[in-house]
Amino acid sequence: MIRYEIKKIFSKTMNKAALLVMTAILVIVCLFTLNSVYCTDESGDHLSGIAAAKKLREMQEPWSGHLTEDVFAEVIRKNAQINGSEEALSDDILKQNQAYAKKQGFGDILNLLNDMFSPYRDWDPFMANRLTEEDAKYVYEKRISGLKEFLDSGEEYFSENEKAFLVERYEALKIPFYYEYMGAWTALFPKVSTFILLLALVIGFLVSGIFSDEFQLKADSIFFASRLGRSKAVLSKTAAGFLVTTVLYIVFAFLYTVIMLAALGAGGADCPIQFQFRKCIYNITNLQAYLLIIAGGYIGTLFAATTAMLVSAKTRNTALAAAVPFLILCTFPFLSRIIPLPGLCTLFPDRLMDIFNNMLHDFSLYEIGGTVMDALVIVFPVYFLACVVLQPVVYGVFKRVEVK
């Protein structure tokens, strides 16, 4: 019966069109992600896409390894040398591009130096140009001391427990950092949140009519009059919605990830996420951060889709049910700008769809009974539990529907 319900979902013309739209979105997002990788070659010409990724990998390969004091000192020395070169000081844009090309091999490390030495709330893209080789000794220390200065400045309020929690997280980060080419991950992080949000909206549309269509097709009396109409048949619909949500999410997220890693290279999976987000309090790698984003997106998608199914069963209105994922995932970000309760807003379900910006890029802390927790520790289990609880609720609501 589950297979039959799944066939019914994909037999609708609108749902077939929605799948085609999602496939088109996959292709478009892949192209945008590919073209977000760019570099400048030795002649000063700009490259993008796969060609740029290949060139960057060649340039950055010599700098692969652990970033020790000696490596930072060498980067600072080479950067100063290039800045003082004839090409860099020239008024000719082409020659300036040629000088810039010489920095790309250690460009990520240069950006890391900018991150570490910039004021906590004021990133300076030229900070590395003012560093000396002596500063190489203090790169990792500067990240921690910068946090402490920010906490003591009073710009934002943190309790003593929260301050201790943040400093402890920063100090627990494994050093020296491991570095290698990570172009694919740098390209994936800004785009994946948009992709999974669009995927969630399409999936929500697909399952929105799973219950209400029985009424709109005037088949409800036959459905509930059958021997298993209020038991196994309802259970099959609920299971079909769960399976469609899960399988489609996994397939499209997998395709997007595999295509990008195959095209741009999977290197850099073990590099710390702090290359992407200097203030991140999670001591995890690029791969672990990406899996966290995908997992959060799945929970958010399942929550939105299950809620849409509940509305479908309760209201018998497919259009209203189809609007639910949009309301949950796209309206809450606007509410967070209106509601003067930032602590509450960081727990809205839309946060799961954009972990890249909402949780990895900055931090939100909660202190309960003297124990400090970050938002991920709360949001993940809360909405996962909500998804589990809503499944039998959806089943119970449709099982008790009265035929009019």
Total-model pTM: 0.91
Beta bridge partners of 46: 40
Least confident of 114-118, 213-217, 228-232, 312-316: 228-232
Q: What is the pLDDT of residue 214?
A: 63
For residues 258 and 29, the answer to whether their CB atoms sit within 8 Å is: no
Same domain, 191 and 134: no
Beta bridge partners of 371: 368
**What are the contacts of 365-372 at 24+ separation with CB within 8 A?**
365/158, 365/162, 365/165, 365/166, 367/159, 367/161, 367/162, 370/161, 372/159, 372/161, 372/162, 372/164, 372/165
pLDDT at 237 over 60: yes
323, part of any domain:
yes
- The predicted model gives 20-35 an average pLDDT of 97
Q: What is the pLDDT of residue 355?
A: 87
Terminus-to-terminus CA distance in the chain, angstroms? 25
> Which of 163, 179, 195 is the last residue in one of the domains?
179
Q: pLDDT tens-digit profile of 207-225? A: 998 877 666 655 444 554 4
State which residues form the domain around 350.
Answer: 2-36+182-399
- Comparison of pLDDT for 229 and 383, the residue scoring more: 383
Same domain, 153 and 276: no
Same domain, 307 and 201: yes
- Comparison of pLDDT for 70 and 154, the residue scoring more: 70
Same domain, 117 and 196: no
Q: pLDDT tens-digit profile of 243-289? A: 999 999 999 999 999 999 999 999 999 999 999 888 889 999 999 99
273, part of any domain:
yes
Same domain, 186 and 164: no
266, part of any domain:
yes
Q: What is the pLDDT of residue 203?
A: 97
Q: What is the pLDDT of residue 221?
A: 47
Same domain, 257 and 371: yes
pLDDT confidence of 388, banded at 50, 70, 90?
very high
Count of domains for the chain = 2
Q: What is the pLDDT of residue 80?
A: 95
47, part of any domain:
no
Same domain, 142 and 197: no
Classify residue 363 by its DSSP letter.
Answer: -
272, part of any domain:
yes
> Which of 148, 179, 210 is the last residue in one of the domains?
179
| Residue carrying the six token digits 């890029």 | 361
For residues 284 and 371, the answer to whether their CB atoms sit within 8 Å is: no
Q: What is the pLDDT of residue 32?
A: 96
> Which of 145, 179, 213 is the last residue in one of the domains?
179
CA–CA separation, 258 vs 226, rounded Å? 45
Same domain, 145 and 284: no
174, part of any domain:
yes
Same domain, 9 and 24: yes
The alpha carbon torsion through 238, 324, 209, 389 (nearest 10 deg) reads 10
pLDDT at 227 over 80: no
Same domain, 249 and 298: yes
Q: What is the pLDDT of residue 337?
A: 63
232, part of any domain:
yes
pLDDT confidence of 174, banded at 50, 70, 90?
very high
Same domain, 147 and 240: no
46, part of any domain:
no
Least confident of 54-68, 168-182, 322-336, 384-398: 322-336
CA-to-CA dists, residue 264 to 32, 50, 101, 243, 341, angstroms: 13, 6, 19, 31, 41
Q: Residue 300's closest CA among 248, 250, 349?
A: 349
Q: Which percentage of the chain shows pLDDT scores above 90?
A: 60
Same domain, 147 and 210: no
Q: What is the pLDDT of residue 104?
A: 93
